[in-house]
Amino acid sequence: MPVAGSGHEAARPDPDALLRAAAQEGRGRLKIFLGAAPGVGKTFEMLSEGAARRRDGADVVIGVVETHGRAETEALTRGHEIIARREVPYEGRTLREIDLDAILARAPRLVLVDELAHTNAPGSRHPKRYQDVEELLSAGIDVYSTVNIQHVESLNDVVASFTRVRVRETVPDRILELAEIEVVDIPPDELIERLKAGKVYLPAEATRALGHFFSKSNLSALRELALRRAAQAVDARMLDDVRALGLGGTWAGSDRIVVAISEQPGCDALVRAAKRVADGLRGPWTAVFIETPRAAHFTDEQHARVAATMTLATQLGAAVATVPAERVVAGLQAVLVDLRATQLVLGKSHRSRWFELRHGSIVDQLVRDTPDVTVHVLPMPVATQASARSMSGRGGQWGSPAGYAITTGLVAVVTALASALFQILNLGNVALLYLLPVMAAASLFGLRTGLYAGIASSLAYNFFFLPPTGTLTISNPENLISVIVLLGIAVATSQLTARVRAQADLATASARTNAILAGFLRQIAGVNDLDTAAQMICDDVRRLLDVQVVLLGREHGPELDIMAASDPAYRLDTMDTAAASWAFDTGSPAGKGSGTLAASEWLFQPMKTGERVLGVIGVASDRVGSPVRADQLPLLSSLIDQSALVLERLRLQAEMRDVDAVRTRDRLRAALLSSVSHDLRTPLTAVIAAAAQLHHGASPELIGTIESEAQRLNRFVANLLDMARVEAGALKLRVEAIDLSDAVTGAAHDARCALEGHAVRLDVPPDLPLVRADPQLLHHCLLNLLDNAGRYGEPGSEIVIEGRNRYGELRLAVLDHGPGLPPGRENEVFETFRRLEGSDRAIGGTGLGLAIVKAFAEAMGMIVEAANRSDATGAAFVLVFPPVLIVRDSLTEGN
């Protein structure tokens, strides 16, 4: 937040507002027709505006419109192109939902989507219709939609408090903040007449509704909420535009209130007064604490008082902020400009005339320098002023004894140096030397120590160097002017140096905070384990804030579980658990230093992302009041926000893993059903037919058919079982030395049925070294490779099994004469259930064989490769045995 000197600097565009505006480029525009209750005519108004846009030449379609049987509403749908809805079977009936893919493919300029808060049927791409709308907006499509005020998330509890009806379908406030809002409004009496006339509900339902939700008092309150929420949305968008354009002024579309709080007792009364002002003006309000360099010297009680006041403001509905600034007036002016505030509430303590002459009056400066803001000044209680003066703490503001001692030493050193050089220096140069301790004292120890250095330097200069020396008498009037000028320069230099030091301290504190947040996020951003991330969060928060930390969440059942703690020995008692549960359920702070269950020793803060509470972080210390000092609250809030983002990322990753597992299971189930229906059914049919012929006498052909089809059936079942073993991680290796010539010969013999009609050539030299592998898994790999070659090779073509020793590796290849593999997609053949058809012939199979080959080969430490043959006459699949799998004692130089 920029710190203004007077509040009248030239305004400049706000970078955040510009970024938000840039983010909307290329996105569609959302317009929401907001109603106070059902039946006010939202859908009718949306269709009317859609028709007007269509007459103006815009490409408008209807995505989904609920007419509820109203003739006048149905009439407005005529003439519009209507995208057919998608049918979703659910529990024996068919639900009709918006067809998102059809709309995206159609790509209209504007789509009409009714009932924004609607919950989609299970199995839809998004659980909520507003998420469908967000995808349409991201695709650059404008959307018109409708919603009732009781469906707005932040107003859900308010509406339920007086209607006694809690709706379950809600829309996040962020959706309304991105939209242009048009309030569709009719007076309560007119809406009640429409209800009685049966234009909203059926007569029986209308009678019941009139006695409950649709009472005149309820409709009036809902109407007020709708108008107020629309006004807030318009005001927020107006402020964003003003900031993006860098326009000055308050732009008071509505009143915005700021209350300035401090460490003094009695500020809680200011907060309550600001709450009354905000309620009277029906405007948003913010409680601000200006953190000046003086805050570094606050006592624990003063820190606790500021924290308690900010907590009270939060409980009363205010936004809170801590703003670092060199001076209170400059910080408040910056806040007023940034928030475009119209009202300021602050307290005025009783100060002596002499104090105001020395330090000025904050109230007078603000009234004088902020003419566009109405300032409400409340007197602080007299009793409170006395306690504030007694607790003001003089030590920190007047400097430390060590600083004065060091400053005295510096003046003495300069005096000694000037005395040694006095013969070659004139009095003017000696006076300049005395500026050195002044600047050093002011920069190191602050303004008052610098002033002390100036006075001490003037006295030393007069006593030791101005005649008559050894006294404080000044005989020459010119020397008197030199002393006065020296003292004035010393005072001015002290003030300037102290101001630079204060600004440097603020910059250092801001940089330290940013570095802490960056380091914290860098540490936990790369963690992919929830338990590890939770423990790192607790450890880092404890290290940075010097508090005890515990992190809780709901992992199993309704009770909160301790996910991590800075000290594993911590145990929460009943009151602590109740406070943590309250914070989790309500999304509001609870515990020590808050207004809820303050008897707990812990302060619990919710970790939220959007509308979801992911967990609760608790902090505890021995401090009076809140466990966290007021100046640490912004850092704690930032740490909690960053931690919540990390937990949300881990949660989404876990959900994606679950989704992938479900998809894999679905694919496996579909493949199994496909195999049962075709690849397993075919050999079963042949076996059954052959067995039926046995009644008329056996023949070698029938017996051969039964044998070959049974082996084929057994191979399919084995593939399914092998894939299940791979996915379950149940492979157990029994490695031994294997002769590849024997292994290839055995596999070719067992696959003779699959290779029927093909010539098979074995080109495996007998002098190849032995390899270490699991003989059963290697046999399965070769069987599947040969089955694949027999399936895709052209009838009558030759299949070659070739073994070579190249560069210390053994390469065992299966070559076929077939359609080959699509260029660039060779590795896809090893994916589960993937079949790359290369010819017009109907080729069966589950798509598991090559996936099993890859899984088995990798389990044994081998590499499997797929490519087209160098002569482009078919495919080549190669098992590569790296040197580590070769039995060295038998290694000979091969081909």
Encode pLDDT of 137-153 as tens digits.
988 999 999 998 888 88
Q: Is the dihedral of CA 614, 592, 639, 611 positive or negative?
A: positive
Calpha distance 575→566 (Å, rounded): 20
Encode pLDDT of 546-556 as tens digits.
788 888 888 76
Between 698 and 583, the more confident residue is: 583
Q: What is the pLDDT confidence band of residue 4, given thresholds at 50, 70 and 90?
A: very low
> What pLDDT was estimated at residue 385?
43
- Strand 86-90 relative to strand 875-881, pairing: unpaired
Contact 834, 671 (CB under 8 A): no
Phi, psi angles (nearest 5°) of residue 364: -60, -40
* Helix (H), strand (E) at residue 693: helix 681-693
Is the pLDDT confidence value at 596 over 90? no
- Strand 603-609 relative to strand 343-348, pairing: unpaired
> What pLDDT was estimated at residue 877?
93
Between 539 and 355, the more confident residue is: 539
169-179 mean pLDDT: 83
Calpha distance 626→304 (Å, rounded): 6
The helix/strand/coil state of 810 is strand
To the nearest whole percent, how much of the chain has pLDDT over 70? 72
Phi, psi angles (nearest 5°) of residue 835: -130, 120
Calpha distance 228→217 (Å, rounded): 17
Tokens 């149905």 locate to: 74
- Tokens for 838? 């290369």
Q: What is the pLDDT confidence band of residue 5, given thresholds at 50, 70 and 90?
A: very low
Is the pLDDT confidence value at 112 over 90? yes
Q: What is the pLDDT confidence band of residue 298, given thresholds at 50, 70 and 90?
A: confident
User: Which residues have a Cβ under 8 Å from the Cβ of 694 and sit 6 or more positions away?
Assistant: 702
Phi, psi angles (nearest 5°) of residue 617: -110, 130
DSSP letter string over 590-607? Answer: EETTSSSSTTSSSEEEEE
Q: What is the pLDDT confidence band of residue 390, given thresholds at 50, 70 and 90?
A: very low
Encode pLDDT of 443-461 as tens digits.
677 667 877 887 888 788 7
Between 641 and 21, the more confident residue is: 641
Is the pLDDT confidence value at 705 over 90? no
Angle between helix 633-674 and helix 477-525 axes, rounded to 10 deg: 20
Between 772 and 721, the more confident residue is: 772
Q: Is the dihedral of CA 654, 660, 663, 665 positive or negative?
A: negative
663 conformational bin, left if phi > 0, alpha if psi -120 to 50, beta if neither: alpha
Calpha distance 644→638 (Å, rounded): 10
Number of neighbours of residue 73 by Cβ within 10 angstroms: 19
Number of neighbours of residue 75 by Cβ within 10 angstroms: 12
- Tokens for 714? 């057994």
Distance, C-alpha 593 to centroid of its chain: 28
Encode pLDDT of 411-447 as tens digits.
888 888 888 887 777 777 777 788 788 777 776 776 6
618: nearest Cα among 663, 674, 578: 578
Q: What is the pLDDT confidence band of residue 3, given thresholds at 50, 70 and 90?
A: very low
In the chain the first and final C-alpha atoms are separated, in Å, by 75
658-681 mean pLDDT: 61
> What pLDDT was estimated at residue 894?
39
Q: What is the pLDDT confidence band of residue 613, given thresholds at 50, 70 and 90?
A: confident
786: nearest Cα among 761, 765, 822: 761
DSSP letter string over 833-885? Answer: T-----SSS-----S-HHHHHHHHHHHTT-EEEEEE-TTSSSEEEEEEE-GGG
Between 638 and 794, the more confident residue is: 794
Calpha distance 226→34 (Å, rounded): 7
Is the pLDDT confidence value at 55 over 80? yes
Candidate from 65-79, 550-564, 843-857 with smallest mean pLDDT: 843-857
Calpha distance 328→420 (Å, rounded): 46
675: DSSP letter: I
> What pLDDT was estimated at residue 382?
54
Is the pLDDT confidence value at 742 over 80? yes
Q: CA angle at residue 473 from 472 to 476, to 5 degrees?
A: 130
Is the pLDDT confidence value at 484 over 90? no
Is the pLDDT confidence value at 13 over 70? no
What does pLDDT average to over the chain? 76
Candidate from 6-15, 113-122, 288-297 with smallest mean pLDDT: 6-15
Tokens 């004065």 locate to: 404
The helix/strand/coil state of 755 is coil
> What pLDDT was estimated at residue 434?
80
Is the pLDDT confidence value at 197 over 90? no
Is the pLDDT confidence value at 881 over 90? yes
The helix/strand/coil state of 462 is helix
Encode pLDDT of 235-265 as tens digits.
666 666 666 555 555 555 567 889 988 888 8
36: nearest Cα among 202, 196, 216: 216
17-38 mean pLDDT: 76
To the nearest whole percent, how much of the chain has pLDDT over 90? 10
Q: What is the pLDDT confidence band of residue 839, given thresholds at 50, 70 and 90?
A: very low
Phi, psi angles (nearest 5°) of residue 620: -145, 145
Give this prediction's pTM.
Answer: 0.41
Contact 626, 593 (CB under 8 A): yes
135: nearest Cα among 27, 21, 34: 27
> What pLDDT was estimated at residue 476?
66
User: Which residues have a Cβ under 8 Å from the Cβ of 350 and sit 6 or more positions away?
Assistant: 379, 380, 382, 385
Contact 331, 3 (CB under 8 A): yes
The helix/strand/coil state of 818 is coil
Calpha distance 476→674 (Å, rounded): 114
SS (H, E, C) 241-308: HHHHHCCCCCCCCCCCEEEEECCCCCHHHHHHHHHHHHHHHCCCEEEEEEECHHHHHCCHHHHHHHHH
DSSP letter string over 523-592? Answer: HHHT---HHHHHHHHHHHHHHHH--EEEEEE-SSSSS-EEEEESSTT----HHHHHHHHHHHHHSS-EET
Encode pLDDT of 502-528 as tens digits.
666 666 666 665 665 566 666 666 677
